[in-house]
Amino acid sequence: MSSIFWFRKDLRLQDNEALSAAVRAASQSSDNTVYCVYGFNSATFEKLEGIRQHSLSVAVKELSNTLDGKLTLLAANTHQELAENLVKACSETGSLEVYAMQSFDPEGVAQQLAVAKALEANGLGLRLVGSAYAVLPGVVRKPDGLNYRVYTPFYKAWNQLAQVTPIELPELGTAWGSLKDQSVRIEPSKPSPIKVRAGEGFALRTFSRFRERALDDYDEKRNRADLGGTSHLSHALAHGEIHPRTLLSVLGDSNAHEVFRKEIAWREFYADVLHHYPHTVNDYYEPRFKSLRYDSGAHAQQKFESWCKGETGYPMVDAGMRQLLAEGWMHNRVRMIVASFLVKDLHLEWTWGAAHFEAHLSDFDPASNSHGWQWTAGCGTDASPYYRIFNPILQGLKFDPNGDYVRKYIPELRHLTDSSAHEPWEVFDGYANGYPSQIVDHNTERNESLARLEEIKTK
């Protein structure tokens, strides 16, 4: 009996546990064909910014190429429409089961539930195998059976359970099949600021280059925005073009390798938190911060627009926001800096920034985005205190000491040498090329943030 494989956020062939299960199942029958499908929500796609449209389009097209062009896109503007089309696919191919990777974010859970119900109603089955993580969300538990709410003990337990051996796709003579109706296409309607490169092959090459150039110095250079010290694999992980097992399998015991392993675990920690508290995808983990006094109205909107455009007058913040617009990506250290500035200096709610990141990040992941923002905003996990307020000037001087990162993304400051790019107000010609002046005073707004924190403490 043939199998249908439903690709989700696992756009790869190797180290794909669910796909391997589908191949083995098909190989045990006379019709050893695996029909590969991908659900495409054109309505949601149209709402995406250009960088995200192109990111998804290229990733799916590269997957189709690895399948010899035999990937069928199914219309899926609602969960029910996707479910109905999967039932039709089973009818066309004679398949009795649909294989897929299990999702744990709220949207993914709702989708697979709708599909499972529709298949079951027609005497068919949905087999969910594996996940996008080295440990399934919900598995790591404290000795008392409760979930971890703090990262460090979670990491220690996770590290004992993490799968670190990649799963090879079986070579069982299985053939890829395609459905008759292939009228659905992914065609971006908006331009991308850059040419997007994606796909499983590109992800593996990126990881190989990272191992050669930066992995052994990861502990020392990962926070430097001016250096290429990060893996640049967040896009591949978000789309499932590479699995964490593949990354973990080559790590040793050095401090640099351990720090990289911990970064992988952070992603899995946030997925675990979202699994247990699904409302936190767009709501507060610590509800008392809902009553914190945030700014609103026309002036708040004006400050937000300055932040979005990278025109706050704080070079490290502006460089990060302009990198986001130019590349659909931002250095992780800088993400924390710009997030702290939005919440603590501009007094705007973290959800504003999270929505902007969701619109523009090609590596958008619901769990990491929401809980990364809440950690910085002080309302998230891991005892992240609200009074941890990043000084955007000192952060710039520490993590971009020569000003190279700032000059790369802010042409108005390229005439300034060395660290002076971080403090143009200290140089006589710092504003000669039209760089905006500071829209707020950091020290004043820091004190204001702490005062607002005292208000909810009193309550």
The closest alpha carbon to 7, from 15, 268, 18, belongs to 18
The answer to whether residue 129 scores a pLDDT higher than 80 is yes
* pLDDT value, residue 183: 72
Dihedral of CA atoms 301, 305, 310, 314 in degrees, nearest 10, equals -20
* pLDDT value, residue 459: 64
* pLDDT value, residue 171: 85
| Separation of alpha carbons 444 and 393, rounded Å | 14
Residue at 138: amino acid letter? G
Mean pLDDT of 360-387: 90
End-to-end CA distance of the chain: 64
* pLDDT value, residue 458: 74
* pLDDT value, residue 402: 97
Residue at 24: amino acid letter? R
Are 107 and 79 spatial neighbours (Cβ–Cβ below 8 Å)?
Answer: no
pLDDT tens figures, 296-319: 999 999 999 999 999 999 999 999
Strand partners, 321: none
| Separation of alpha carbons 222 and 214, rounded Å | 9
| Neighbour tally for 201: CB within 10 Å | 14
The answer to whether residue 324 scores a pLDDT higher than 90 is yes
Are 336 and 376 spatial neighbours (Cβ–Cβ below 8 Å)?
Answer: yes
Are 434 and 309 spatial neighbours (Cβ–Cβ below 8 Å)?
Answer: no
Band of residue 1 on the pLDDT scale cut at 50, 70, 90: confident
Domain positions in the chain are 3-131, 132-164+200-276, 287-458
Q: What percent of the chain has a predicted confidence (pLDDT) above 70? A: 99
Mean pLDDT of 109-114: 97
* pLDDT value, residue 182: 66
Band of residue 4 on the pLDDT scale cut at 50, 70, 90: very high
The answer to whether residue 396 scores a pLDDT higher than 80 is yes
* pLDDT value, residue 252: 97
How far is C-alpha 381 from the chain's CA centre? 18
> Burial of 29 by CB count in 10 Å (0-12 exposed, 13-18 middle, 19+ buried)?
exposed
pLDDT tens figures, 43-72: 999 999 999 999 999 999 999 999 999 999
| Separation of alpha carbons 384 and 226, rounded Å | 26
Mean pLDDT of 255-276: 98
Band of residue 214 on the pLDDT scale cut at 50, 70, 90: very high
> Per CATH, the architecture of 132-164+200-276 is what?
Alpha Horseshoe (1.25)
When the pLDDT of each residue in the chain is averaged and rounded to a whole number, the result is 95
* pLDDT value, residue 232: 95
Band of residue 384 on the pLDDT scale cut at 50, 70, 90: low
287-458: CATH number: 1.10.579.10
* pLDDT value, residue 28: 84
* pLDDT value, residue 198: 95
Topology (CATH level 3) of domain 3-131: Rossmann fold (3.40.50)
| Separation of alpha carbons 215 and 85, rounded Å | 44
| Separation of alpha carbons 40 and 157, rounded Å | 37
The closest alpha carbon to 271, from 1, 4, 9, belongs to 9
To the nearest 10 degrees (0 to 180), the angle between helices 200-213 and 50-66 is: 100
The answer to whether residue 383 scores a pLDDT higher than 70 is no
pLDDT tens figures, 72-106: 999 999 999 999 999 999 999 999 999 999 999 99
| Separation of alpha carbons 379 and 344, rounded Å | 12
The answer to whether residue 30 scores a pLDDT higher than 90 is no
* pLDDT value, residue 29: 76
